[in-house]
Structure formats: C-alpha cells, structure tokens
C-alpha cells in the first residue's frame, strides 16, 4: 500500500515542478523567450549566468524551457479536454443506448485503434493548418478512440449492476441514470484516463512539433526546440539534452500519477 501511494506522491511532486515552471516563467527568468541578447555568446556552454547555456541565435535556453512548459502543458490540456469530453460523451452514449449506435461507435473505435496515433495526428494536420491549436486538436482526435472504448466498456458493465436496476425501478430515465448514477461510479476511470491522455498528449505533441508541424517558430515548444537544435547538437549537446529531459520528466510525472490512481481505485 505504501508503494502505491508513493507513485502518486512522486508523480504529483514532479508535476508541480512543471506547473510552477510554466506559471512563474516570467518571474524566474529575467529574459524573454525570443530575446536575442547574447549574440556574442551563441552556443555558450552552461554557466552560472545561463544554467542551460545559450542557443545558436543567442537566446537563453533555460528561459525557453520555462516558457516551453507553458506551450507543452497548454497543448496537452487542450488535447486532453477534447479527448476526454467528447470521448466520455460518445462512450457513455454508446454504452447507454446500445443498438446500432453502439455498434457504429464500437466499429469506428476498433477501426481507429488499429492506427498509430501519431499517424492520426499527421492526417488531421494535413487538413488543418500548422499551429499549436491545430496540434492540440490533432492530438485530441488521435487520443479519442482509447477514451471512447474504455468509457463505453465501463458504462456497459455498470449498466448491468443492481444499483442501476434499482434506479430504473424507481422510474428514472436512462440519461438521468447515466449522468447521476453511472457517471459518478466511473469517475475513477475517467481520472486515470485523463492523466494517461495528458502524458501521451505531451509525447505526441512533441513528436509532431519535432516533425515541424507546429508552425510559428516564436512560440518555444520542447519538441520544436529539439528540432531546431538538432543541427548543432554535436557541438552543443546540452541544447538537445535539456528539452528531451523536460519532456521525459513531464510525461513520467503523468504516467506515475496515472499508475498511482489506477492502483488506488482498483
């Protein structure tokens, strides 16, 4: 039991670091994320004044990492909101309604689950123009099938339980039962799915940004930073190491929280 809680605690502590970095970026760093004040120091190694060094065009890398936390968390939150809200509604509707609607939704999710999610993201981005918002939408869509399938399965199994039968006996309609009886009992699952999706969304968004699909180069995003610093990574490897560590740290925090929650609810 102790280890289970420790997963949750370690994950939360790690996440708080990221949230603080994002929230206090402008307070911590004296520079702006796109400020080129150190042209003479381009590619300078990490030092006391520039903890993670200076990039090829003279921008302080730590500052960009801090602001990058904003972009990354923003995209991940947007994508997860889309996936969880729409996914829960579709999954719940399929579980409650049954019949042809359920069959259609189930077939569609099975079909989409066969695809690598980064491919779904790529496809969505061939229609949308490249921007952080598009990436959030693309990643959200790519995460939908998993959420729909899990929520649907939970609703179907809850639907057969006694408390639902009792509620039905009192004359409650099926939507009322779904919203007031079943949904609260699926809260644990939805919370686990939320943290899981947040983690995979960070990875996926970083991947799409690394491929160059975020557009707008003035918004620092960790995956995009990796793309930009690739060319100089032989002479200044820390420029590449730092954003990757930041991504791993953030994703790991979400995965730890998700594992902790899952074990707690089981």
> Considering only residues 94, 154, 219, 226, which one is a binding residue for other proteins as defined by CB under 8 A?
226
Q: How many residues bind other proteins (CB under 8 A)?
A: 39
Instruction: For residue 104, state whether it binds other proteins (rule: CB under 8 A).
Output: no
User: Judged by CB, which is closer to other proteins: 182, or 213?
Assistant: 213
CA–CA separation, 184 and 27 (whole Å): 40
Residue 213 DSSP symbol: -
Give the Cβ contact number of residue 233 at 10 Å: 13
Touching other proteins, residues 106-145 (CB under 8 A): 111, 113-119, 122-123, 125-127
Instruction: For residue 251, state whether it binds other proteins (rule: CB under 8 A).
Output: yes
Tokens 């994002």 found at? 22
User: Judged by CB, which is closer to other proteins: 92, or 213?
Assistant: 213
* CA separation, residue 78 to residues 81, 191, 197, 205, 245 (Å): 5, 16, 11, 11, 22
Closest to 257 (Cα-Cα) out of 2, 71, 17, 4: 4
Instruction: For residue 1, state whether it binds other proteins (rule: CB under 8 A).
Output: no
State the nearest-atom distance from the C-beta of 240 to other proteins, in Å: 5
53 close to 236: Cβ distance less than 8 angstroms: yes
User: Judged by CB, which is closer to other proteins: 109, or 159?
Assistant: 109
User: Judged by CB, which is closer to other proteins: 35, or 259?
Assistant: 259
> The tokens of 188 are what?
């644990």
Residue 80 DSSP symbol: H
Closest to 116 (Cα-Cα) out of 203, 176, 179, 19: 203
User: Judged by CB, which is closer to other proteins: 155, or 222?
Assistant: 222
Instruction: For residue 212, state whether it binds other proteins (rule: CB under 8 A).
Output: yes
Give the Cβ contact number of residue 189 at 10 Å: 20
User: Judged by CB, which is closer to other proteins: 44, or 118?
Assistant: 118
State the nearest-atom distance from the C-beta of 98 to other proteins, in Å: 21
Contacts with other proteins by CB under 8 A lie at 3, 111, 113-119, 122-123, 125-127, 199, 203, 206-207, 210-213, 223, 226, 230, 233-234, 237, 240-241, 243-244, 247-248, 251-252, 255-256, 259
């Amino acid at each position: 039991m102790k280890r289970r809680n420790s997963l949750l605690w370690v994950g939360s502590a790690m996440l708080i670091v990221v949230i603080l970095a994002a929230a206090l970026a402008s307070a911590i760093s004296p520079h702006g994320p796109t400020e080129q004040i150190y042209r003479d120091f381009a590619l300078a190694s990490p030092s006391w004044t520039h903890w993670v060094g200076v990039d090829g065009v003279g921008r302080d890398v730590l500052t960009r990492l801090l602001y990058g936390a904003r972009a990354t968390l923003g995209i991940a939150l947007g994508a997860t909101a889309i996936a969880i809200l729409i996914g829960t509604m579709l999954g719940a509707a399929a579980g409650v309604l049954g019949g042809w609607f359920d069959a259609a939704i189930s077939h569609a999710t099975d079909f989409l689950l066969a695809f690598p999610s980064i491919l779904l993201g790529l496809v969505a981005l061939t229609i949308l123009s490249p921007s952080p918002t598009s990436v959030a939408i693309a990643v959200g869509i790519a995460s939908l099938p998993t959420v729909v399938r899990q929520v649907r399965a939970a609703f179907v199994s809850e639907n057969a339980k006694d408390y639902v039968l009792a509620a039905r006996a009192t004359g409650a309609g099926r939507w009322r039962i779904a919203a007031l009886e079943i949904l609260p009992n699926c809260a644990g699952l939805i919370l686990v799915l939320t943290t899981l999706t947040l983690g995979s969304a960070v990875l996926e968004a970083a991947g799409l940004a690394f491929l160059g699909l975020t557009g707008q180069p003035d918004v620092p995003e960790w995956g995009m930073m990796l793309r930009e610093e690739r060319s100089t990574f032989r002479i200044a490897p820390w420029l590449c190491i730092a954003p990757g560590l930041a991504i791993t740290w953030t994703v790991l925090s979400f995965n730890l929280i998700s594992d902790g929650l899952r074990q707690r609810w089981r």
